[in-house]
Amino acid sequence: MKYCLDANAIINIQLVGMLSDLEQMAAQNLICIPEGVYRELTDTTTKIGEKIKKWVPYGCIHDLTPDELLLLKEIDGKYGQPFKIGNGNLYGGFWATPSGEKGVDAQVVVVAKLNNLIIVTNDGSMHGASYFEDVECIRFEELCRRFRTETHKLL
């Protein structure tokens, strides 16, 4: 299994003290970080950004392909604004970021969809979009649990 992470998943993984575990996954080619997520985390001089810059040699930073760029416009258009699954809960959409800036959530969905990856996020809109796009999507806590379980199996 290979995972595609959004910025908040990486931040949350750092907050629970498992960033070195995530780096291990990067070194083993088990994670993918879309270039937009990478930019979000490295555009400022934060400790997490400096650590992630060191992961570039692992090949986990994913530049969008022409096919992904085409699908990106479609996905961003479908899920940018608030949307619902049937008569269920209203999802805020990809464009409802805390900063008011247009987020890169669509990149995560596109990269995961076209590369058969599992999305790691706690963002409800991404969970809703992954439902419609038939992409597996888990919370960061589940990735941490899986990593811990897999690691213990190896001991």
Residue 7's pLDDT band, with cuts at 50, 70 and 90, is: very high
In a domain, 43, yes or no: yes
Write out the two tokens for 97.
Answer: 């970021």
* CA proximity to 10, closest of 25, 28, 26, 22: 22
Q: What is the pLDDT of residues 142-151, one digit of tens each?
A: 999 998 887 6
pLDDT at 155: 34
Average pLDDT, the chain: 90
> What whole-number percentage of the chain has pLDDT above 90?
79
Q: Could you give the number of structural domains in the chain?
A: 1
Report d(CA 32, CA 99) in Å as an integer: 24
For residue 37, the domain's CATH number is: 3.40.50.1010
In a domain, 155, yes or no: no
